[in-house]
Amino acid sequence: MDPGCLKLSLPDSDLQESFDLASKLSAERAMTVSPLVWKIKRGLNIGSEKKLKEAIKKVDILAEEVIIQKRKNDFSSQNDLLSRFMRNMDDDKLLRDIIVSFLLAGRDTVASGLTTFFWLLAQHPRVIDEIRAESSRVMVRREKETLASFEEIREMHYLTAAIHESIRLFPPVQFDSKFCQEDDTLPDGTFVAKGTRVTYHPYAMGRMEGIWGKDCLEFNPERWLEDGVFKAQCPFKYPVFQGGVRVCLGKDLSIVEMKSVALALIRQFDFQVHVATKEQAPKFMPGLTATVRGGLPIMVQERREQ
């Protein structure tokens, strides 16, 4: 089901506007002086909470339509993730929430990661040269092709390193929270009572000298390479995709998405960030994902040398 969000001939999508508004207002709850403020507004159905309720209703309608369409197409023989869920449960409300979580996890996060990646690339032309050189080596028999195959993308270790280094500095989800289900004790001996909210901050952790060394603020893809081969870091040192039993289900898919899009563009175009934008780090809007305020002003030119 395609809501047509990117078709220039169509007006702005209700789904897109509602989804963005719901994300923004949900995140702004954490910025209130006290949770009582938004809870009272929700109880009285006024202000931002009224807008949030209306936005969520529109998103839910689309999610319910997805379920209806899927049932019409005999999901029993299909192997996509939603079909697998539908074969194992009959709770439409839970299925609706699963679809919304798919959208929330996969829609804005990849866009956010790519936006800051190109901002970094425009300031580090050396990295662009390395990515192009690597792709030429890997795709030597298909040099004229724009799109790499899945097998070829897997062989591009420098590109993988550059993507991971970018989202170390600018993780799409800058902080996250968990609630303790039972009394527990952290490895350092800290007691955590049942029901306690524990928040961790990947954005801050990616910039800590004690974790990443004195060059923690530098964009350096080589830190992920060992003899030219990509080497993953401990997920608890690099919690961009969480870790343990709660590791992100879409981790591999999102990395492949980012690599595919980035490589196709890097092979065809040159990028130049506006001078004013280049001198300052991106500023982010309130939201569940790190959306760059005002987008990224950038000049894109087709490469003369292919």
In three-state form (DSSP H/G/I as H, E/B as E, the rest C), the secondary structure along 201-225 is CHHHHCCCHHHHCCCCCCCCHHHHE
Residue showing tokens 């028999």: 141
Residue 5 among known ligand-binding residues = no
The pLDDT value recorded for residue 80 is 82
**DSSP structural state of residue 223:** G
Distance CA 27, CA 289 (A): 9
Report the pLDDT value the prediction gives residue 279, as an integer from 0 to 100: 59
Q: Tens digit of pLDDT per residue, the chain (306 long)? A: 676 777 777 666 777 788 888 888 888 887 788 889 999 999 999 999 999 999 999 889 888 888 888 888 878 878 888 888 888 888 889 999 888 888 877 778 898 999 999 999 988 999 999 999 999 999 887 766 768 888 999 999 999 999 999 999 999 989 888 899 999 998 899 999 999 989 899 999 999 999 999 999 999 999 999 999 999 999 999 999 998 888 888 889 899 999 999 999 999 998 887 655 555 778 887 777 888 888 888 888 898 765
Helix, strand, or coil (residue 182):
coil
pLDDT for 276 equals 54
Tokens of 238: 């690099």
User: What pTM did the predictor assign?
Assistant: 0.83
Q: What pLDDT is recorded for position 287?
A: 75
Can you give the pLDDT at residue 38? 92
pLDDT at 65: 86
**What phi and psi values does residue 63 have, to the nearest 5 degrees?**
-60, -40
d(CA 83, CA 81): 6
**Which residues, 6+ apart, have CB-to-CB distance to 262 below 8 Å?**
114, 117, 118, 131, 159, 163
